[in-house]
Structures are given as structure tokens and as C-alpha cells.
């Protein structure tokens, strides 16, 4: 497992240890790049249990910033295609406008969250409200997933690590 993470960090030119790795992996995973930050966060908190809350906060801030990058890309896309304003519409756009930034509590959902952030920017939903709802949704996700991962016995992680070395 360590070899996998080292290869991952080397490929992206990321720091392989500490809170910078937690931050960068969370930021990247919130963009359209399909990378999960939970294993890195869990690994870090397992090795440094005294840094649990700080690591959760760092991951949440990084993931929220990545979501805001998506929001900004949606806004820039909208500004770039303003002439198509009359051609865009439909039920999804109406639903997003109606629900507003509160919908970004779901920005953590795989496959759905990133497009929601882009759509929020495209629709010019207020950035501060979007960021706040996004932050709390992502915070709840990290708290829940990290807690659930701590319930898995260490023997299961050791067996997984042994199995991954065979691949």
C-alpha cells in the first residue's frame, strides 16, 4: 500500500507526508479528477491520532477550495458562452435555481458533487453561500467516512495491505 501511495504522490509531484499531502489530495479530489482523498486522510489520522481534528479541517478546506474551483469554472464557462443563454434551460436548471446553495450540501457525492459545483457557478449562485454549504457538507462527509474507517479492525487493513502487495 505504501508503494501505491508513493507512486501516486510522485506522479502528481505532491508531498508524500503530512498535512500538505492531506490538503493537496483533498483539493484535487474535489475537481473533476477522479481521485479519492479519504485513504490519505485516514492514513494520516491513523499514524497521527493527535492531529485528527486538524487533519479533518485541512481536508475539508482543501476539498471546499477544489469545489470552489469547480464553481469558478462554471462561472467562467457561463461568461464565455453568454450568447447561448436562451438555449440553456430545462428542469435541472430550474431545480438548481430553486434549491440554491443549500443543494451544495451534496457536493461531496461521487459523480454528482463536482457537476453540482460547476452548475452553481454557471447559474451564478452566490459564492459565499455556496462555499459555506459546500464546507459543511464536505465536513460531514470527512467526519463520517473517517469514523467509519476507524471501525474496520486493523487485521483487515493488514490483510488488504498483504493482498495489494501480491498484485
Tens digit of pLDDT for each residue in 69-98?
A: 988 988 888 766 554 455 445 666 677 777
Is 159 within the bounds of a domain?
no
Residue 100 domain flag: yes
Q: What is the C-alpha to C-alpha distance for residues 52 and 76, in angstroms, rounded to an integer?
A: 36
Decide if 158 is inside a domain.
no
pTM of the full structure: 0.70
| Domain containing residue 120 | 2-153
CA-nearest of 55, 47, 59 to 23 is: 59
Does residue 160 fall inside a structural domain? no
In 80-158, which ranges are E strands? none
What per-residue string of b and e applies to 114-145 under the rule 16 or more CB within 10 Å gives b?
A: bbbbbbbbbbebeeeebbbbbbebbbebbeeb
Structurally, how many domains does the chain consist of?
1
pLDDT band at 68; cut points 50, 70, 90: very high
For the segment 39-56, the average pLDDT, to the nearest whole number, is 88
**CA dist., res. 166 & res. 21, Å (int):** 26
Q: How does the average pLDDT of the chain come out, rounded?
A: 80
Q: Does 165 fall in a domain?
A: no
Is residue 140 included in any domain, yes or no?
Answer: yes
Domain assignment present for residue 167? The answer is no
| pLDDT score of 114 | 82
Q: Is residue 163 part of a domain?
A: no
How confident is the model over 116-142, as pLDDT tens digits?
A: 888 888 888 998 999 999 999 999 989
Q: Span 157-165, mean pLDDT?
A: 76
Amino acid at each position: 500500500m505504501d508503494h501505491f501511495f508513493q507512486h501516486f504522490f510522485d506522479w502528481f509531484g505532491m508531498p508524500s507526508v503530512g498535512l500538505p499531502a492531506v490538503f493537496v489530495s483533498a483539493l484535487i479530489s474535489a475537481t473533476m479528477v477522479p481521485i479519492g482523498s479519504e485513504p490519505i486522510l485516514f492514513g494520516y489520522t491513523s499514524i497521527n491520532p493527535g492531529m485528527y481534528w486538524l487533519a479533518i479541517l485541512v481536508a475539508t478546506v482543501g476539498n471546499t477550495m477544489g469545489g470552489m474551483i469547480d464553481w469558478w469554472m462554471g462561472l467562467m464557462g457561463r461568461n464565455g458562452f453568454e450568447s447561448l443563454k436562451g438555449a440553456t434551460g430545462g428542469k435541472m436548471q430550474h431545480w438548481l435555481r430553486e434549491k440554491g446553495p443549500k443543494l451544495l450540501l451534496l457536493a461531496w457525492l461521487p459523480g454528482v458533487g463536482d457537476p453540482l459545483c460547476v452548475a452553481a457557478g454557471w447559474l451564478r449562485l452566490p459564492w459565499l453561500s455556496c462555499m459555506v454549504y459546500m464546507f459543511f457538507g464536505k465536513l460531514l462527509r470527512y467526519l463520517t467516512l473517517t469514523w467509519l474507517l476507524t471501525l474496520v479492525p486493523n487485521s483487515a487493513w493488514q490483510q488488504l495491505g498483504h493482498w495489494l502487495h501480491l498484485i
